[in-house]
Amino acid sequence: MVSLAKMDFDGKEGSVDESAGLSPSSTQVKLTAIQKTGMLQFACDAVVEGTKLKYVLSGTEKDYFEFSSTTLTVEKLEIAGAPKNPAVTLT
């Protein structure tokens, strides 16, 4: 099983919460010899300061799988505004 989790954060002065404002869902993906891919989800708070989440591999077959990266990076994008809908004329 693969899931997402927040990065480790000890809360000590000077430490940075790399997952601040990111909330991994409880979604898990079951990997098998046939099912080698899946989709994981996370939500963002109104204010997001963090940029990283980590993958968690669990289950009895976890030793048969490995990741090319143990973390994923989140990039904040500014919303450009409401989509523009051009006028449509029906005839």
**Segment 65-76, tens digit of pLDDT:** 888 889 999 887
Q: Residue 91's pLDDT band (boundaries 50, 70, 90)?
A: low
Maximum distance among all Cα pairs of the chain, rounded to whole angstroms: 67
Q: Report the predicted TM-score, pTM, of the whole model to 2 decimal places.
A: 0.72
> Given a cut of 90, is residue 20 above it in pLDDT?
yes
Question: Strands, E, within the chain: which ranges?
Answer: 2-6, 22-24, 42-44, 52-57, 71-73
Contacts of 67 (CB under 8 A, 6+ apart): 55, 57
**Segment 48-61, tens digit of pLDDT:** 899 999 999 888 87
Cβ(31)–Cβ(56) below 8 Å? no
**Segment 26-49, tens digit of pLDDT:** 888 888 778 888 888 999 898 889
Q: Tokens at residue 88, please?
A: 């449509």
